[in-house]
Amino acid sequence: MSYKIQDFKIPKESEDYKYASEYAIKSIESIIKQAIENNENKIIINTNLKLGLPMENINKIAGPFVEAWACETFANIVHDSKNKWNLINVEALDRLNRADVLLQFKRNQKINPIVTAEVDVKATSEDFEGSGKSPNITSFARVRSSYVEDPDFLFVILSLKHKVYSQRNHNSGLMDGIMEVVNFNAYDIKYLSESDISYNPALGTGQIQIRDIHYVTTTKRNTWEFCQLLDKKYLASSKRSFENWLELAIKNRWIK
């Protein structure tokens, strides 16, 4: 038996998928850009620490704060029913989900007017070189199955770069920690170049990773091509075999 002779379930995306993806990516980046330009990009952490936050370890706790900031930024937009991005729904997803927040946009067209994007927020530090450079995205089996179940599944990686500093609070006399989002990029995971996607066999069925989130290139491909790329990354691992892949394929119904 071999990979090539399998009777695959071949997902076929909608003809306008790439336009829906572009709409979501541009909207997400525009919303974050506006927040930065309007000086709405700071997270203030009040503590009773006279010397401020422990900067050498700050990157270990910054992630959840930045994720929460992103979710609130989108939630603030959706409250305006006439917002220019036509963002109509925002849902914070639980920690066991494959993403952090679900966004829905309404396009001005009759076919497929609603664009749903699941957004995985990744925080990286401007102060520490290499911080968050190669983040885990989601498990191989989980993301592979998602595209078979929904060929138009839109999974967005939102990379937010932040810096942290301390500032004295004149009322309390103590130091406030300031986390400031300073840069951003959003990517449709399906369009990441082959060299930017890596596979880590640790944990369950393995983790899909971005090799270096600070330097990413993209390439257009369809859903079936992406599924094959994920399989290729899995099978290339010295710790995985075709028999391992086949067991997952049968269990998750990737083949008929």
46-78 pLDDT per residue, tens? 777 777 777 666 777 788 899 999 999 999 999
**Both tokens assigned to 76:** 């603030």
| Identity of the amino acid at 68 | A
Helices (H), the chain: 17-37, 59-78, 140-149, 223-235, 242-251
| Identity of the amino acid at 211 | R
Q: Which residues of 42-56 are buried (b: 16+ CB within 10 A; e: fewer)?
A: ebebeeeeeebbeee
Domains of the chain with CATH codes: 17-251 (3.40.600)
Mean pLDDT, rounded, for 78-99: 91
Phi-psi region of 219 (alpha: psi -120 to 50; beta: other; left: phi over 0): beta
pLDDT at residue 169 tops 80: no
The percent of residues in the chain predicted with pLDDT above 90, rounded, is 68
Per-residue pLDDT reduced to its tens digit, 140-156: 999 999 999 999 999 99
- The Cα 38–Cα 41 span in angstroms is 8
pTM over 0.75: yes
Instruction: Point out the least confidently predicted range of 55-64, 98-107, 115-124.
Output: 55-64
Q: Mutual orientation of helices 223-235 and 140-149 as an angle, nearest 10°? A: 160
Strand partners, 183: 161
Mean pLDDT, rounded, for 205-215: 90
Asked if residue 6 lies in contact with residue 252, where contact means CB atoms within 8 angstroms, the answer is no
Strands 114-125 vs 155-168: parallel, antiparallel or unpaired: parallel
Per-residue pLDDT reduced to its tens digit, 35-48: 999 999 999 887 77
Strand partners, 46: 176
Provide the Cα torsion 132, 133, 136, 140; round to 10°.
170
Residue 207's CB is within 10 A of a number of other CB atoms, namely 19
pLDDT at residue 79 tops 80: yes
Q: Which residues of 217-236 are buried (b: 16+ CB within 10 A; e: fewer)?
A: eeeebebbebbebbbebbee
**pLDDT number for residue 170:** 77
Beta strands in 58-141 (DSSP E): 87-92, 101-106, 114-125, 136-139
**Both tokens assigned to 119:** 């957004």
Per-residue pLDDT reduced to its tens digit, 212-240: 888 899 999 999 999 999 999 999 998 99
Mean pLDDT, rounded, for 71-92: 94
What's the mean pLDDT when you consider all of the chain?
90
**pLDDT number for residue 131:** 57
**pLDDT number for residue 178:** 85
**pLDDT number for residue 23:** 96
**pLDDT number for residue 102:** 97
Q: Which residue has the tokens 């944990």?
A: 203
**Both tokens assigned to 144:** 């592979």
